[in-house]
Amino acid sequence: MASPPILLLQDIHLTFGGTPLIEGAELSVAPGERLALVGRNGSGKSTLLRIAAGLIEADRGTRFAQPGATIRYLPQEPDLSGFPSTLAYVEAGLAPGDDAYRAAYLLRELGLTGEEDTARLSGGEARRAALARVLAPEPDILLLDEPTNHLDLPAIEWLENEIRTMRSALVLISHDRRFLENLSRATVWLDRGRTRRMEQGFGAFEAWRDAVLEQEELDAHKLDRRIVAEEHWVRYGVTARRKRNVRRMAELSKMRQDARERRRAAGAVKLTVSDADISGKLVVEALGVSKSFGDRAVVRDFSTRILRGDRVGLVGPNGAGKTTLLHMLTGALAPDSGTVRTGANLQSVTLEQGRDSLDPATSLVDTLTGGRGETLTVGGVSKHVMSYMKDFLFSPEQARTPVGVLSGGERGRLVLARALAQPSNLLVLDEPTNDLDLETLDLLQEMLADYAGTVLLVSHDRDFLDRVATSVIVSEGDGRWVEYAGGYSDMVAQRGEGVTARAAAAAKPREREAAAPPQPQAPSRRKMSFKDKHALETLPGRMEKLQADMRGWQDELHDPALYTRDPARFARLTDAIAKAHADLAAMEDDWLRLEMLREEMEG
């Protein structure tokens, strides 16, 4: 028999500024349940979580919590004012009988000493202190709103393991797909003001969501067809009978109202990147680069070659020097020693980690166009700014909205929209996944997969790295960086341990040296993935076939009467040969790159 819920929301309604945000939402949390609360940015997830925490009151509906149940809520922007130190702030969240030592333990695990002045904390430090405060009592229910924001990979993996060992029930909002998959056992989808529940973890959510939306479209189509049929009866059947069937007229009126009031699913973000002219084959070559700040070595004797089309992820704990290495690879920062050579014809666009480059007083339109008219060029096509805004789910009413009043998710989409509108053949992405909802992340991944240029990526999102990166450069501590083929999971498989384990081992260097004396660091070599090996084997055959096709097309073009007889065929053959020449050149470049890589590995 299922346990009765310890927290229950029923028929919750809430309206902001005359617009319904939540309309009849439900949420039930039983002891030990692990729920993922998902939905688009702006759908009301954080608001529903605050209602569950008892911090705001719904316009209508019921909230019930079992008497004596302890509920702890993690907001996105915690307030630590009034507490002299982080330890005092965390201890204030403990109840009588709670373990006082757990507060210090959690702060230490999250990289804080407990002595930090709360008035001087960065956003990330404040979030980690707030995490320690909600975890310390081991409450009956944890309500966590984006707990991985501002956390690095070691902290995210530690938090995941910590929550997994707790007995608390969990309601979790997060854009970190891997975090949701690993912790959830059921999923609540908040969509158009209402909730749907699936008794499976987030891993099964997307297939279920797509099936629900597909059925909705089918039902909407059936309703539209019924309206057409009933209108036909009204026009012809009533006249023939000389009387009105009141019931059928009422049903038609009701169906029309249902069709008018039907809240369709919000459109998808449409991502298009503006490509610049193609870059040279070599994008970046770094040989023995090092960089120190004072006595601390951030990068030590690192080498790599990045070729056109590579997607390279940089991974490591906060403070390891990911951004420093990124700036050296792009030429924005000179190394203390070693050389960095960048390729020809590079046009780079950077998507920065923060949103500081956005002027809060500037309107959304002027931010996208730079204040120059109402059109911009995207992917070589001139586009009206209103249409481009719609691609990123901004409404026309927001056109003159100051950037400062946008939500965090909307500002994230705006930075993305502005960056992708600029022509580039090198995208530099520093934490691009911050504040983006899952649908936008999916489309960003698809866009990067189709992007003709090169991508340099700093991210703590394991799933995003797995889906995007062709290689990962990882901080090994003490300024050492090593490149691994594949995504984040491939890196973990090759190393035999994740970032957390290596970071923990770095805290005891003497023990590590005693157990296994370190080998001299050789310049990092690229690895051949299964995809690379397959391409190396199949490219010669593909090139031969393409050359044979070209010979056949050229023979056909030698017919002097072809243009007069079939000008359309002549044009198609000419275009096909031009495209084949470009494809053949690209194949030859790929084959040469892979052959050089094979020789390097064998030699």
Mean pLDDT across 276-305 = 84
Position 128 pLDDT exceeds 60: yes
pLDDT at position 247 = 59
pLDDT at position 381 = 75
Domains of the chain by residue range? 7-207, 217-261, 282-515, 530-602
pLDDT by residue (tens digit) across 365-418? 888 888 777 887 776 678 888 888 887 778 788 888 888 877 767 777 788 788
State CA 364 to chain mean position distance: 22
CATH topology of domain 530-602: Helix Hairpins (1.10.287)
Q: Is the entire prediction scored with pTM above 0.75?
A: no
What end-to-end distance do the CA atoms of the chain give, in Å?
Answer: 65
pLDDT by residue (tens digit) across 61-73? 999 999 989 999 9
Whether residue 145 contacts residue 408, with contact meaning beta carbons closer than 8 Å, is answered with no
238 pLDDT tier (thresholds 50, 70, 90):
very low
| Same fold flag, 7-207 and 530-602 | no
Percent of the chain with pLDDT over 70: 80
Look over the chain and give the mean of its residue pLDDT values, rounded to a whole number: 80
Query: 3-class SS at 14?
Result: strand
pLDDT by residue (tens digit) across 180-202? 999 999 999 998 889 999 999 99
| Rg of the Cα atoms in the chain | 29
- CATH fit for domain 7-207, picks 3.10.450.50, 3.20.20.70, 3.30.1360.30, 3.40.50.300: 3.40.50.300
To the question of domain 282-515 being in CATH 3.40.50.150, the answer is: no
Looking up tokens 């580039």 gives 424
Helix (H), strand (E), coil (C) string for 109-146 = HCCCCCCCCHHHCCHHHHHHHHHHHHHCCCCCEEEEEC
Residue 602 phi/psi, 5-degree rounding, is -75, -30
568 pLDDT tier (thresholds 50, 70, 90):
confident
Nearest CA among 509, 173, 452, 503 for reference residue 315: 503
What amino acid occupies position 353?
Q
pLDDT by residue (tens digit) across 209-232? 888 888 877 777 676 666 666 655
Query: 3-class SS at 516?
Result: coil
Position 603 pLDDT exceeds 60: no
Whether residue 315 contacts residue 465, with contact meaning beta carbons closer than 8 Å, is answered with yes
293 pLDDT tier (thresholds 50, 70, 90):
confident
State CA 410 to chain mean position distance: 14
Position 332 pLDDT exceeds 90: no
